[in-house]
């Protein structure tokens, strides 16, 4: 065996040194890479702490939102109580208004019946007065004609007896004076009767509407007048009989004077005595006639005063009744005009409700289409992932979520249909039941608050799940990606997009319900103000102006509170949408961090494997012949072992970078921070790892 060549030994040593230098450089690179990974882990820890602080802030905001919702529910309950009180007041006022209307209608009917009855009675009394006046005129005409005939015959007889002596002429003159006095008395009576007739005509023209209440008094007075006229007629008849008896006596005396002229003196003496007696009788009768005339005149004056007084009272009462009737008619016309205006407003509201119904039908059709699309998507996803055995549990969970979402959409659809049915029912009963609109508006607001609470709970659950995902990402070592995990990531991305779409749809539904609440509130406000305005206009006689003003002020205040509640609901909706966007952003950040971490681990493993591949085995010659046969020195094995040692150190560092529980990287860490980390790690599940399912 020849001794080894020094050049070959030196070459072998140089190669060995070169390999050692390469191994050292590889170890330095691995150490530097481990430092970089530790820095990244520190940055991730800081980001995780920031995200936890952000989530705690979100929790505080959600607590504030819950407190706000609780206050809103209290305000809604108070508003419902006030609305119910106002409904009771409004019902009382409407009942009072209906009673007053019925009372005034009955009063109008009774007044009209009374006026018609008074007119009929007045016509009958006037007709009876006219007939009585005509009968009195006829009687006076007969008396006048008789008296004129008698006077004419007497004047003729007196003319034939002019040749009688002075005493007989004096008797004739006294007789003529007596007749003149009787004529004057008759003319005075006739004049009084004419005045009475004129007064009756004046009463006929001035008191046409005053007959029903004093009909009995008029008839009694008429009977009294007729009795007085009869008495006067009897007196006139007695006077005429006396005159006729005197005429007969004068005729007999004239005949006896013609036959017995020679007994004239004796007869004249008898005549003187008879004339004295007759003059005394005539004086007595004239006095009686004067007394009767004065008595009749006083009675007629009293009757005139009574009739004028009654006429004035009747005129005043009839004028008052006419003014009341005109006022009631004007009030009824105003009420009818107000009712017409209310009917026009209600017709406009019905048209608006029909338009809203058309809009809601279109929205329901769109939601049905969306539901069909979601069902189709669910079927496609089932057919797509049905062959993946590891994703069966995930598919089952996603199916449950989609079924819950579909059920929620169906419930929303049913709710909208119920709202449409309720709006149509209100449209058909808007004239009879305006108070139901306010009660159903309160129910819609309560349902809206309940839905906001449910959405708030869902959002809190989403944020809690996001927190668990972040903790699992930091505390658990990520595994190598496979086809199934990439498929799962795609499923998660699709689920996130679908959840975002559903959130937008829920926001649209919230907006629709807010529009529905606004329309119902406007309708309720208008229908509450209309009866209040009617009560306010008629409040001077019914003394309800104060309560109607209070009703109007309360309605304005409730409308302002409703606007504030709607604004707060809109703000809460915007906050929920912003929180959902923040959640999506955090999910994207989480996914990007996981991807970077996996890329870093894969790069480190790749670098170590490349360092292991570069080591080879070299055959070395013995240094002297004493060593015997050449041995194969597996320097590569030793180097491989060395590399394995470095590789073990590098793997520990990599594990420390990916797993926070490694003891190598925990040196120099605050014990409080470590205790908090371990406490958070307990019970945390990594939802991003497929093997957990």
Averaged pLDDT, 575-597? 69
Q: Dihedral, CA atoms, 95, 99, 100, 101, nearest 10 degrees? A: 100
Let me know: does 197 contact 300? Beta carbons within 8 Å: no
Q: Which of 221, 249, 210 is nearest to 306 (CA)?
A: 221
Q: Structure tokens of 557? A: 């205040």
Residue 481 phi/psi, 5° resolution? -75, 145
The pLDDT tens digits for 410-461 are 676 667 667 666 665 655 554 444 444 445 555 655 666 676 667 666 666 7
Instruction: Spell out where 130-282 has E strands.
Output: none
The model's confidence at residue 655, banded by pLDDT at 50, 70 and 90, is: very low
The model's confidence at residue 388, banded by pLDDT at 50, 70 and 90, is: low
Let me know: does 658 contact 479? Beta carbons within 8 Å: no
- The proportion of the chain whose per-residue pLDDT surpasses 90, expressed as a percent, equals 0
Q: What is the per-residue pLDDT for 616?
A: 40
Q: What is the per-residue pLDDT for 50?
A: 83
Residue 634 phi/psi, 5° resolution? -85, 70
Helix (H) or strand (E) holding 209: none
Neighbours of 590 (CB within 10 A): 19
Q: Which of 64, 79, 68 is nearest to 567 (CA)?
A: 68
Half-sphere exposure in the Cβ direction for 616 (13 Å, CA): 7
Q: Tell me which range, 284-293, 484-493, 545-554, 607-616, is most confidently predicted by mean pLDDT.
A: 284-293
Residue 618's DSSP bridge partners are 634
Which of the 8 DSSP states describes residue 341?
Answer: H
85-89, 361-365, 596-600, 635-639: least confident range: 635-639
232-241, 399-408, 651-660: least confident range: 651-660
Q: 3-state SS string over 637-685?
A: HHHHHHHHHHHHHHHHHHHHHHCCCCCCCCCCCCHHHHHHHHHHHCCCC
User: Which residue in the block uniquely carries the two structure tokens 């009660």?
Assistant: 439
pLDDT at 664 over 50: no
pLDDT at 75 over 60: yes
233-242, 355-364, 530-539: least confident range: 530-539
Q: Structure tokens of 483? A: 């086809």
How far apart are the C-alpha atoms of 349 and 288, rounded to whole Å? 89
The model's confidence at residue 643, banded by pLDDT at 50, 70 and 90, is: very low
CB contact set of 643 (below 8 Å; sequence gap of 6+): 23, 26, 611, 612, 615
The pLDDT tens digits for 276-332 are 776 677 677 667 767 776 776 777 777 777 777 776 776 777 777 777 777 877 777
How far apart are the C-alpha atoms of 569 and 512, rounded to whole Å? 13
The model's confidence at residue 686, banded by pLDDT at 50, 70 and 90, is: very low
How far apart are the C-alpha atoms of 608 and 647, rounded to whole Å? 6
The pLDDT tens digits for 256-283 are 656 665 666 666 677 667 667 766 776 7
CB contact set of 215 (below 8 Å; sequence gap of 6+): 121, 125
Query: Sign of dihedral through CA atoms 375, 376, 377, 383?
Result: positive
62-71, 106-115, 653-662: least confident range: 653-662
Neighbours of 671 (CB within 10 A): 8
The model's confidence at residue 659, banded by pLDDT at 50, 70 and 90, is: very low
Averaged pLDDT, 201-210? 66
pLDDT at 580 over 70: no
Q: Which of 57, 39, 48 is nearest to 471 (CA)?
A: 48
pLDDT at 253 over 50: yes
For the entire predicted model, the pTM comes to: 0.21
pLDDT at 396 over 70: no
Q: What is the per-residue pLDDT for 180?
A: 77
How far apart are the C-alpha atoms of 616 and 665, rounded to whole Å? 33
Q: Structure tokens of 269? A: 């003496």
Let me know: does 35 contact 657? Beta carbons within 8 Å: no
Mean pLDDT for the chain?
66
Q: What is the per-residue pLDDT for 614?
A: 44
Let me know: does 447 contact 509? Beta carbons within 8 Å: no
The model's confidence at residue 642, banded by pLDDT at 50, 70 and 90, is: very low
Residue 246's DSSP bridge partners are none
Q: What is the per-residue pLDDT for 203?
A: 66
User: Which residue in the block uniquely carries the two structure tokens 């007041």?
Assistant: 89
How far apart are the C-alpha atoms of 635 and 167, rounded to whole Å? 209
The model's confidence at residue 543, banded by pLDDT at 50, 70 and 90, is: very low
Q: Which of 254, 58, 250 is nearest to 163 (CA)?
A: 254
pLDDT at 547 over 50: no
How far apart are the C-alpha atoms of 559 and 568, rounded to whole Å? 14
Let me know: does 548 contact 539? Beta carbons within 8 Å: yes
The pLDDT tens digits for 29-54 are 877 877 888 888 888 878 888 888 88
The model's confidence at residue 364, banded by pLDDT at 50, 70 and 90, is: confident
Q: What is the per-residue pLDDT for 564?
A: 72
CB contact set of 220 (below 8 Å; sequence gap of 6+): none
91-100, 521-530, 623-632: least confident range: 623-632
The pLDDT tens digits for 476-517 are 544 444 454 455 556 555 665 666 666 666 666 666 666 666
How far apart are the C-alpha atoms of 576 and 147, rounded to whole Å? 121
Q: What is the per-residue pLDDT for 613?
A: 46
The model's confidence at residue 122, banded by pLDDT at 50, 70 and 90, is: confident
- The proportion of the chain whose per-residue pLDDT surpasses 70, expressed as a percent, equals 40
Let me know: does 119 contact 209? Beta carbons within 8 Å: yes
Half-sphere exposure in the Cβ direction for 505 (13 Å, CA): 22
Residue 543's region, left for phi above 0, alpha for psi from -120 to 50, else beta, is left
The model's confidence at residue 227, banded by pLDDT at 50, 70 and 90, is: confident
Averaged pLDDT, 148-157? 72
CB contact set of 410 (below 8 Å; sequence gap of 6+): 371
Q: What is the per-residue pLDDT for 358?
A: 74
pLDDT at 336 over 60: yes
How far apart are the C-alpha atoms of 533 and 84, rounded to whole Å? 19
Let me know: does 468 contact 684? Beta carbons within 8 Å: yes
Q: What is the per-residue pLDDT for 172?
A: 59
How far apart are the C-alpha atoms of 214 and 212, rounded to whole Å? 6
**Domain segments of the chain: what residues?**
122-326
Q: What is the per-residue pLDDT for 490?
A: 62
Let me know: does 527 contact 439? Beta carbons within 8 Å: no
CB contact set of 60 (below 8 Å; sequence gap of 6+): none
Q: Structure tokens of 603? A: 């790069």
CB-neighbour burial class of residue 682 (10 A; exposed 0-12, middle 13-18, buried 19+): exposed
Instruction: Kindly report the length of the chain.
Output: 693
Q: What is the per-residue pLDDT for 437?
A: 45
Let me know: does 34 contact 653? Beta carbons within 8 Å: yes
Residue 634's DSSP bridge partners are 618
Neighbours of 283 (CB within 10 A): 12
How far apart are the C-alpha atoms of 55 and 467, rounded to whole Å? 7
Q: What separation, in Å, do the N-terminal and C-terminal C-alpha atoms of the chain show?
A: 68
The model's confidence at residue 255, banded by pLDDT at 50, 70 and 90, is: low
pLDDT at 185 over 50: yes
Q: What is the per-residue pLDDT for 390?
A: 52
Q: Tell me which range, 235-239, 535-539, 605-609, 679-683, is most confidently predicted by mean pLDDT.
A: 235-239
Question: Distance from CA of residue 226 to its chain's centroid?
Answer: 72
């Amino acid at each position: 065996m020849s001794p080894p060549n020094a050049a070959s030994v030196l070459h072998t040593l140089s190669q060995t040194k070169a390999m050692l230098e390469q191994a050292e450089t590889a170890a330095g690179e691995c150490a530097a890479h481990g430092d970089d990974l530790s820095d990244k882990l520190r940055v991730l820890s800081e980001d995780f702490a920031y995200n936890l602080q952000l989530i705690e802030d979100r929790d505080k905001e959600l607590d504030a939102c819950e407190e706000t919702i609780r206050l809103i529910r209290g305000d809604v309950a108070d508003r419902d109580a006030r609305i119910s009180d106002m409904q009771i007041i409004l019902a009382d006022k409407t009942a009072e208004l209906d009673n007053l209307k019925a009372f005034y209608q009955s009063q109008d009917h009774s007044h009209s019946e009374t006026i018609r009855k008074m007119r009929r009675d007045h016509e009958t009394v006037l007709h009876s007065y006219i007939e009585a006046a005509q009968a009195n005129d006829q009687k006076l005409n007969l008396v006048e004609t008789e008296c004129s005939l008698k006077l004419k015959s007497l004047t003729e007889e007196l003319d034939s007896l002019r040749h009688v002596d002075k005493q007989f002429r004096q008797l004739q003159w006294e007789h003529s004076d007596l007749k003149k006095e009787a004529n004057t008395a008759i003319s005075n009576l006739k004049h009084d009767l004419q005045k009475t007739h004129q007064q009756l005509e004046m009463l006929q023209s001035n008191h046409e509407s005053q007959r029903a209440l004093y009909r009995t008094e008029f008839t009694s007075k008429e009977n009294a007048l007729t009795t007085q006229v009869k008495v006067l007629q009897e007196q006139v008849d007695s006077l005429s009989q006396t005159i006729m008896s005197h005429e007969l006596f004068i005729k007999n005396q004239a005949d006896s004077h013609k036959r017995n002229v020679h007994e004239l003196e004796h007869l004249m003496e008898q005549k003187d005595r008879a004339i004295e007696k007759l003059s005394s009788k005539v004086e007595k009768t004239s006095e009686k006639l004067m007394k009767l005339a004065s008595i009749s005149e006083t009675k007629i004056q009293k009757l005139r005063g009574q009739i004028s007084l009654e006429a004035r009272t009747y005129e005043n009462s009839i004028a008052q009744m006419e003014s009341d009737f005109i006022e009631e008619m004007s009030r009824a016309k105003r009420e009818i005009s107000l009712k017409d205006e209310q009917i026009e407003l209600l017709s406009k509201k019905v048209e608006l409700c029909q338009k809203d119904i058309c809009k809601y039908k279109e929205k329901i059709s769109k939601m049905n289409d969306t539901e069909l699309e979601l069902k189709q998507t669910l079927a496609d996803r089932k057919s797509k992932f049905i062959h993946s055995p590891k994703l069966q549990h995930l598919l089952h969970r996603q199916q449950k979520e989609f079924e819950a979402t579909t059920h929620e959409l169906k419930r929303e659809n049913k709710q909208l249909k119920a709202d449409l049915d309720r709006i149509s029912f209100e449209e058909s009963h808007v004239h009879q039941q305006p108070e139901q609109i306010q009660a159903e508006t309160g129910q819609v607001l309560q349902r809206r608050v309940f839905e906001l609470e449910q959405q708030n709970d869902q959002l809190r659950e989403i944020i809690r799940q996001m927190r668990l995902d972040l903790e699992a990402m930091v505390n658990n070592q990520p595994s190598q990606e496979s086809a199934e995990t990439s498929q799962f990531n795609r499923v998660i991305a699709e689920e996130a997009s679908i959840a975002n779409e559903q959130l937008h749809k829920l926001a649209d539904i919230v907006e629709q319900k807010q529009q529905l609440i606004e329309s119902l509130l406007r309708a309720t406000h208008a229908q509450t103000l209309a009866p209040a305005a009617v009560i306010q206009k008629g409040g001077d006689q019914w003394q309800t102006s104060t309560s109607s003003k209070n009703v109007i002020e309360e309605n304005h205040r409730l409308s302002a509170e409703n606007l504030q509640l709607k604004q707060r609901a809109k703000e809460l909706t915007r906050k929920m949408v912003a929180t959902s966007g923040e959640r999506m952003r955090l999910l994207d950040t989480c996914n990007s961090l996981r991807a970077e971490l996996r890329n870093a681990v894969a790069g480190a493993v790749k670098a170590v494997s490349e360092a292991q591949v570069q080591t080879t085995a070299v055959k070395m010659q013995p240094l002297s012949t004493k060593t015997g046969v050449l041995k194969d020195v597996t320097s590569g094995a030793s180097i491989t072992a060395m590399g394995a040692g470095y590789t073990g150190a590098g793997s520990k560092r990599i594990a420390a970078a990916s797993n926070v529980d490694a003891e190598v990287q925990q040196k120099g860490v605050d014990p409080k921070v470590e205790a908090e980390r371990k406490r958070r790690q307990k019970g945390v599940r990594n939802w991003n790892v497929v093997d957990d399912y």
